[in-house]
Amino acid sequence: MQYRQDGRGGRRISALGLGCMRFPGFAIGRPDLRSAEAIIARAHERGINYLDTAYLYPGNEACVGAALQRLGLRDAMIVATKLPHGSCRRPEDLDRILDIQLRRLRTDRIDCYLIHNICAPAQWKHLQSMGIEAWLARQRSQGRLGAVGFSYHGSAADFPVLLDAYPWDFCQIQYNYLNERYQAGTAGLIAAHARGMGVFVMEPLLGGRLAGKLPDEAKRILAEAGRDPTRASVRGRGRSRDVKSVSALETPAAWALAWVLDHAEVTMALSGMTSAEQVDENVDIACRAEPGSMSADELDVIARVVEVVERCGRIACTGCAYCMPCPAGINIPGCFSAYNASFAHSWFTGVQQYLIASGGLRRFLSGSASRCMRCGRCLGRCPQKIAIPDRLHDVARRLTPWYPGAYRRGVRRSSD
């Protein structure tokens, strides 16, 4: 495994981290402990030393804590979890939530503690008004917290403001080859690194979209470009030298992960691996994807893929399911995935996926996108800031044409 320095923390962190949110069973809020143990055990075997969970991932902290205890790996892993700032209304909530997290994780310390899902400086100011800076200092002096950072889902303009609002040890940003100008983006990556912070990347595969859900044309481009990288060079990137094999780059996931780790400013890429096999595939890439190791030709391939995806993609949903459950019973991520598939692959493929996402033909009328009541509960939860009711509107119009009036009934129902 390749290891990189953790910014101000000075600690060696594996270039690939294990995101625990998508353990098998996460969609129903009951992650499977046996599966989690197998994934964590394999990750440790392959050199991964960083695990990421959060208070708001249903059942996840408890699952991680139980798995680490049963495997005897607590001291071998850097454990990260997150404070849900939206749940902190009084200063006492800070202690209450941390106590719960320590019990769930079956530990007396949290190595990396993040303020979860910061979208604007005002959210940090609210925490400051409750004395969070003194609280963090006290918890660190008592050994209950280690490095402190934040995960970000706000605008590019606000990101530098957050960087300078507190002496953070690290930050966590969404970054991949489709998101260079999204949220913190490339400019934010460089800015955080310049301040000496560790930069942890979430969604390097965009919730799996850059792995198995690319348009067919994009898949063909990557497949045709795959070659033996032992002959690769980095000519055209300011130097000319032979480099070690980055990977066979035989899969879309390999290309996406190698692209992220090609950036020297990236400390670690956090991947939500759901099986031991995925761990092996991703580690094989992470072991070799050193900064600057992708050739100019390979970067051109990625640029061509971006053009195709931007032409075909319509809704930037990562499938995180933060918007769920929907009061109307709609499978929001499933509907969006089907909608995108209808452009990337074919309309018929999209309709098939839409029927499955809606619960099958029998349950279609009760689970289709046309059931949206526009209650707005999903809007504040979406890290991607998708206008979910409006986009469900679009899904219904595109994918329910054989049911006359379904879309219109959905609109009328939502206005009652």
Look at residue 310 and tell me if it is in a domain: no
- In degrees and rounded to multiples of 5, residue 42 shows phi and psi of -65, -40
pTM (global) more than 0.85: no
Distant-in-sequence, close-in-space partners of 198: CB < 8 Å, separation ≥ 6: 5, 6, 7, 8, 9, 13, 147, 149, 169, 170, 171, 267, 268
**Helical (H) or strand (E) element with 393:** helix 388-399
pLDDT at 399: 86
Q: Which residue has the higher pLDDT, 415 or 374?
A: 374
Q: Are residue 358 and residue 404 in the same domain, yes or no?
A: yes
Residue 273 has pLDDT above 60, yes or no: yes
pLDDT at 232: 42
CATH classification of the domain holding 39: 3.20.20.100
Beta bridge partners of 199: 171
- Residue range 174-200, pLDDT digits in tens: 999 988 888 899 999 999 999 999 999
Longest dimension (CA), the chain: 67
Q: Is the link from the previous residue into 325 a cis peptide, with omega within 30 of 0?
A: yes
Q: Are residue 354 and residue 207 in the same domain, yes or no?
A: no
Give me the number of domains the chain comprises: 2
**pLDDT band at 401; cut points 50, 70, 90:** low
Query: What is the mean pLDDT of the segment spanning 66-94?
Result: 95
Look at residue 379 and tell me if it is in a domain: yes
Query: What is the mean pLDDT of the segment spanning 98-104?
Result: 97
Q: Report the relative pairing of strands 110-118 and 50-52 from DSSP bridges.
A: unpaired
Q: Are residue 233 and residue 350 in the same domain, yes or no?
A: no
- Residue range 317-376, pLDDT digits in tens: 877 888 988 998 888 888 888 888 787 666 777 787 788 777 665 555 556 788 888 998
Q: Are residue 127 and residue 275 in the same domain, yes or no?
A: yes
Q: Are residue 363 and residue 229 in the same domain, yes or no?
A: no
Q: Are residue 263 and residue 348 in the same domain, yes or no?
A: no
208-211 contacts: CB < 8 A, separation 24 or more?
A: 208/319, 209/318, 209/319, 210/176, 210/177, 210/178, 210/252, 210/253, 210/255, 210/256, 211/251, 211/252, 211/253, 211/256
Residue 243 has pLDDT above 70, yes or no: no
CB 111 within 8 A of CB 78: yes
Residue 335 has which token pair?
A: 């509907």
pLDDT at 371: 86
Residue 325 is classified by DSSP as S
Which of these, 44, 98, 32, 100, lies nearest to 68 by C-alpha position?
A: 44
- CA 273/CA 335 separation, integer angstroms: 23
Q: Are residue 299 and residue 359 in the same domain, yes or no?
A: no
Residue 412 has pLDDT above 70, yes or no: no
**pLDDT band at 129; cut points 50, 70, 90:** very high
Structural domain that includes position 390: 332-415
Look at residue 320 and tell me if it is in a domain: no
Look at residue 326 and tell me if it is in a domain: no
**Helical (H) or strand (E) element with 173:** strand 170-174
Q: Which residue has the higher pLDDT, 370 or 126?
A: 126
Residue 190 has which token pair?
A: 């460089």
Look at residue 361 and tell me if it is in a domain: yes
- Residue range 38-67, pLDDT digits in tens: 999 999 999 999 999 999 999 999 999 999
Q: Are residue 349 and residue 244 in the same domain, yes or no?
A: no
Q: Are residue 369 and residue 407 in the same domain, yes or no?
A: yes
- CA 272/CA 60 separation, integer angstroms: 13
Residue 390 has which token pair?
A: 């409006």
- CA 78/CA 71 separation, integer angstroms: 15
pLDDT at 367: 64
321-325 contacts: CB < 8 A, separation 24 or more?
A: 321/26, 321/27, 322/381, 322/382, 322/383, 323/378, 323/381, 323/382, 323/388, 324/378
Per-residue HEC secondary structure of 71-133 comes to HCCHHHCEEEEEECHHHCCCHHHHHHHHHHHHHHHCCCCEEEEEEEEECCHHHHHHHHHCCHH
Q: Which of 113-122, 154-163, 276-285, 393-402 has the lowest mean pLDDT?
A: 393-402
Task: Report the mean per-residue pLDDT for the chain.
Answer: 85
Distant-in-sequence, close-in-space partners of 123: CB < 8 Å, separation ≥ 6: 85
- CA 7/CA 192 separation, integer angstroms: 10
Q: Are residue 267 and residue 400 in the same domain, yes or no?
A: no
Q: Are residue 184 and residue 235 in the same domain, yes or no?
A: yes
Is the dihedral angle over the CA atoms 163, 117, 135, 100 positive or is it negative? negative
Q: Are residue 290 and residue 349 in the same domain, yes or no?
A: no
- CA 146/CA 140 separation, integer angstroms: 6
Look at residue 41 and tell me if it is in a domain: yes
Q: Which of 288, 305, 322 is the last residue of a domain?
A: 305
Length of the chain equals 416
226-232 contacts: CB < 8 A, separation 24 or more?
A: 226/250, 232/293, 232/295, 232/298
Query: What is the mean pLDDT of the segment spanning 59-81?
Result: 96
